[in-house]
Amino acid sequence: MSVMTTAEWKNILDRVRTQNPALVRGWFGGLVPVDLCGGVLRIRAGNLKQVRYLDDACGSAFANAAQQVLEQLVTTTFETDAPGEIADDDGYPLSMSENNQLQLNEDYIFEHFVVGAGNRMAHAASVAVAEALGQTYNPLFIHGDVGLGKTHLLQAICHTTRSLNPSATILYISCETFANHFIEAVERGAMNEFRYHYRHVDLLVIDDIQFLGTRERSQEEFFHTFNTLHQAQKQIVLSADCPPAEIPTLENRLVSRFKSGLVAFVDAPCMETRMAILAKKARLRCIEVPEDVIEYVATHIQTNIRDLEGALLRLDAMSQSSESAIDMELARRALDDDSQRHAITIQHIIDVVTRYFGVRVKDLQSKKRPKSISHPRQVCMYLAREFTSHSLEEVGGYFGGRDHSTVLHADRTVKKMVETNDKVRRTIEDLRATLRARQNGAE
């Protein structure tokens, strides 16, 4: 058992705030790391309401941040020493004010956004909205694939609005947060309070609005919230991974309202834009990258901005570890290593298994033991032993702090089932095929 340093914990919190701004709450600064034992990081919160929010929404965010900082497999659990009562206001979103501002990534401003052919209209519309709330494009709906800059534009609107109009009330959240707050308000009989929080703002920004399509009651409430804000000429900005009409099961009346303003598409960056993005991010991070290396990286990575930034950070890390300058030889080693680019991780295995069996990650990492959960958990451990080089202890730590004997038992159990049960054998073969396709770069 060990306790992390203050610097490590601060680094974890900073990464959570940067990578998952929509999840962050003002009380995150009061969270305390208790200990790190068997791959499980215990975190103490102020009350049960906070624990429930962390369990429901933030487990993977803290686990991913901890793994990046500590460089080992980590899962998280949340607890509290407080009595059982739940404070009324803890779970609600916080408006930007002098005393309690919503956390935003300080790098996500318009000055740091690289404009290209694929995002020019979305960028221009975002600037226009930020400079005149409710006066130009209302609502503004931005859509595009993952990692193309939608969140950057949303946060840039918030930053500029805050700069031009410090008194403006800004609410920047994820669609999941809106739905969770609505359910919570219904359960507590606090709909008046809920509606006040969402309908008395100058700027409402919601990321990943496509998830509203799976929630009928939340759609009804959001419809009325939208109408209230729009009629009051308050600005609404939404983002999704597809245009309004393609959001599954979204009510027609909401599709119509989302399309009533401006719908702007963000496309993948072209070669010149990718080079400009790499050059700008290198300058912002004070990383010296020769122009031929920038061109090489931009040629090899054509997916999205996050992958470009990941490649830049990998180059920087390799440069520091080898104490050598970034050059073409280093770039080739960083980008041409197929085994590194397509290595299977435990997270890949969990993603494939949870989709196949229809279970949740938090269930696999819980203490629940029904067969519908324990069998997929054992399959994950079995595949982790086959596709990764992690030790028994590391694998067990990722699944709720289980010891090495549990992982060994799971491995042997699944092996025996593969030999004696045709259905299980076919399942494992399907999962292996999916993972190998990913390993070979087919996904």
Domain ranges of the chain: 6-80, 110-265, 271-336, 346-439
- Evaluate if residue 168 carries a pLDDT over 60: yes
In eight-state DSSP terms, residue 90 is: T
The CATH superfamily assigned to 346-439 is DnaA protein, C-terminal DNA-binding domain (1.10.1750.10)
6-80 has CATH 3.30.300.180 classification: yes
- Evaluate if residue 120 carries a pLDDT over 70: yes
- Evaluate if residue 204 carries a pLDDT over 90: yes
For tokens 């739905």, the residue is: 179
pLDDT, the chain, mean: 83
* 110-265, CATH topology level: Rossmann fold (3.40.50)
* 271-336, CATH topology level: Helicase, Ruva Protein; domain 3 (1.10.8)
Respond yes or no on whether the N-terminal peptide bond of residue 139 is cis (omega within 30° of 0). Answer: yes
* CA dist., res. 277 & res. 296, Å (int): 13
User: Sheet holding 75-80: strands in order across?
Assistant: 32-37, 40-45, 75-80
- Evaluate if residue 443 carries a pLDDT over 70: no
- Tens of pLDDT, residue by residue over 67-114, are 889 888 888 888 887 654 333 333 333 332 333 334 678 888 999 999
Question: What proportions of the chain, in percent to the nearest 5, are helix, strand and coil?
Answer: 60, 10, 30
First to last CA, the chain: 39
Residues above pLDDT 70, as percent of the chain: 91
pTM: 0.55
Structure tokens at 351: 């993603």
In eight-state DSSP terms, residue 366 is: S
* CA dist., res. 360 & res. 362, Å (int): 5
In eight-state DSSP terms, residue 107 is: T
Beta-ladder partners of 141: 238, 263
